[in-house]
Amino acid sequence: MANFLQVDFEKPDTSSKAIKKIQSVLNSGGVIAFPTDTFYGLGADPFNPEALSKIFRIKQRPPDKPLLLLIHSPDQLKDLAREVTDNARTLMDRFWPGPLTLIYKATPGLPDALTAGTNTIGMRLPDHQFTRRLLEELDQPLTAPSANISGAGELRTAQEVEQVLGAELDLIVDGGPAPGGKVSTVLDTTTNPPTLIREGAVSRSDLESVLPVH
């Protein structure tokens, strides 16, 4: 079964050691589970094709479905998105941090497993203190598809993840229960107007209060 690692950012001495452990797992191509602003997600180095392949195997995920990323700052977009449209900036200003995943044109050279050959990349800035702090301490984006078998229910706690996927994961980062609720909304900003791919925590009416969407 996967190792559990509890992280308490209120205790700098122990959290520093925990971050080093997490970073070591990611650097070696491992996959972690960690709480996001919705449910627990599967984290890996987005620039490591072998780690990405491992996520697809764990989730039994179709290879034509790209992987979304979590970032801790909009500044990270410059290394991942080839273009950030005015519509995208408007949405970021209004809904980030929050459960809105925006799809951008991807920077050339990103792993095919990340973009699934779409030449696009989905990212969001999570509205969750633990997740943001984790991303800041690691100073890198993380993949964050839901920590479950594709098509199965989402998981809110480290213990639930351990029961379902524990044998497949390298590390489960226990940061307490994830908020749960609705999944993130996914919006494609490469079209004008943007195209709603999945309605979730941010509703269509919320989006249309800012700008038109398909």
Predicted TM-score (pTM) of this structure: 0.95
Look at residue 12 in the predicted model and tell me its pLDDT: 83
Rounded to 5 degrees, what angle do the CA atoms 178, 124, 86 make? 155
Are 198 and 186 in contact by the 8 Å Cβ rule? The answer is yes
Which residue's structure tokens are 């490591």? 48
CATH architecture of 3-208: Alpha-Beta Complex (3.90)
The whole-angstrom separation of Cα 125 and Cα 131 is: 10
The whole-angstrom separation of Cα 126 and Cα 102 is: 12
Separation in Å, CA 95 to CA 92, 119, 188:
5, 24, 14
State the DSSP code for 150. Answer: T
Look at residue 96 in the predicted model and tell me its pLDDT: 98
Domain boundaries, the chain: 3-208
- Stretches where the chain sits below pLDDT 70 are 1
Look at residue 10 in the predicted model and tell me its pLDDT: 86
Annotate 121-160 with b (16+ C-beta within 10 A) or e (fewer): bbbbbbbbebbbbbbebbebbbbbbbbbeeeeebbbbbeb
Phi-psi region of 176 (alpha: psi -120 to 50; beta: other; left: phi over 0): left
The whole-angstrom separation of Cα 10 and Cα 14 is: 9
The whole-angstrom separation of Cα 25 and Cα 140 is: 14
Look at residue 13 in the predicted model and tell me its pLDDT: 82
* Strand-pair category, 100-106 with 120-124: antiparallel
The whole-angstrom separation of Cα 164 and Cα 207 is: 34
21 by DSSP, 3-state: which? Answer: helix
Which residue's structure tokens are 């995943």? 101
Look at residue 22 in the predicted model and tell me its pLDDT: 97
Are 130 and 175 in contact by the 8 Å Cβ rule? The answer is yes
Look at residue 1 in the predicted model and tell me its pLDDT: 64
Tokens of 146: 């839901």
